[in-house]
Structure 1
């Protein structure tokens, strides 16, 4: 029965776009089109996605996008991701271009204002986890909390073809906690890249030990009297931020996604699509598409 399950590839679009942009921008290779607009990130994103399709052989796919810099998490905590530098001017026009190319290629795209791509990915997993195998392609370790029996994550590693793949069993073996408990661990450590601190003075080793021993943030708080004086003092000083950090770390999986699974079927890359990509100045996408297409 499991052999006939659909296999859905969930692409973190912005993660691949940023990765592709910086892979060539450092050497000044922006691959400008006829209008002098850089296309390096767009072409890299599409090529990376095509390679992932070739490697993981999914039957269905969704590309998930962040829609602007602000989300509901900024309403909870004003400094959430606030310290990140503004995107390079060469990258800015490529945000819309990447989604347009993705849609032109016939890929199903999702983006909801005020939500992150992670929340869309989490909601898709909740929607389809009992009916399909799911593979996430991203560079974002926050997604580890979504691992499950039929959910794996392929973290970008090198180039377009090398990934560090995690399934639920590997995560449990390495961390000694469940994927869902990863949220509680991050509540203590915070996330420097996202700009929330967790509990000052509690690092990953201590946080992991606490969750392994007490199961959750609530379990740690219930066992406050058993904690060392140093740990107890740190938690008492940052108790409010501990609870807020847990909320910020939690991927929201409650978005309603009504599209039937058939809408996520991956279309073939045809000669017509290749011509269209060439006409729009995306020759690298055209070549990549024809090289990996089985048609």
Structure 2
């Protein structure tokens, strides 16, 4: 065997050894979707960075409304995004049964599975809706439950409520809440706005209550009080990665990769990450990167 043949054989042996020893890098382009509020911006960016580390080319499309994003997932414009179990249960599948967190997950997993959407392992981060009030406001200081708030509205108290643009129109939002608690807030008292504006408006007295999300970082930072959902209206909203089956079949490694993150997230973690962006003014990119580093991803 001449020198060149020996060299070629040696290089081939080295390449084969490296291929066996090194983990295979994923190939392909993945479109990651996300909604337009802090938590979703963080989780979409986290997913983008994670998948890029695993060799994917990622196109991130965040800042979308819930129904638009879901439609994009169903029609293939988006390959995956993180959805909330309660949103799928009520908004997309029109289920009004009162279910436990486990039942909620199993129901949406089954129903969305029939539509070609795969729900991976859920996180313990339950971003359910919550009404919060600030301290020192005579209108709300005596309110401890949503029933108390409903009674105040029935008595004619003009409690100014801030919400997202979607909340007043959602069956798992104000529409269903008013029916369950038997009150009407009244159009003049409901102020749909960008979620980023609701907390400053509550803090400075322009609003009396806002429809928050339980993992919002501002709740603790502003010393706000959460009204108890004493009739259990709001379902569980477990933050969960959802992937089109076609995409998962093509890239089965996505399951383990995404579940390595979802199984580590809980309420306290998401409140902290949300607070770092919304209160401490860190960038979404930095917060996502720091968290992935902290969990060894």
Same fold (TM over 0.5): no
Comparing both chains, which one has the higher relative contact order based on Cα–Cα distances under 8 Å and sequence gaps of 6 or more? 2
Bigger strand fraction: 2
- TM-score range for the pair, normalised by the shorter chain length: under 0.3
Larger Rg: 2
